[in-house]
Amino acid sequence: MPPRDAFLLRIDPKVLAALRRWADDDMRSVNAQVEYLLRRCLQEQGRWKPLAGEPAAPPPKRGRPPKE
């Protein structure tokens, strides 16, 4: 795995709480959820240019299947 950069993120507590719930639903850490969402948004906006050896699309959604 390539090295990762760390940075501080100031975020509204309500947004963080919602992000935590979403990450729990998808069985991801909050950090992994943020990265997943950023990659997906970048790809949707045509700004994601994967480097050699990286997948072209974000990883598939993980976690429990939705309740029907």
CA distance 62 to 8: 26
The answer to the question of residue 49 being in a domain is: no
The answer to the question of residue 6 being in a domain is: no
Q: Any idea which residue has 């795995």 for tokens?
A: 1
Give the model confidence (pLDDT) of 11-58 as tens digits: 999 999 999 999 999 999 999 999 999 988 988 888 877 666 766 666
Total-model pTM: 0.66
The answer to the question of residue 22 being in a domain is: yes
The answer to the question of residue 52 being in a domain is: no
The predicted pLDDT at position 67 comes to: 79
CA distance 30 to 68: 25
The H or E element containing residue 28 is none
The dihedral built from the CA positions of residue 30, 47, 2 and 51, taken in this order, carries a sign that is: positive
Nearest residue to 41 (alpha-carbon basis) of 29, 30, 33, 31: 33
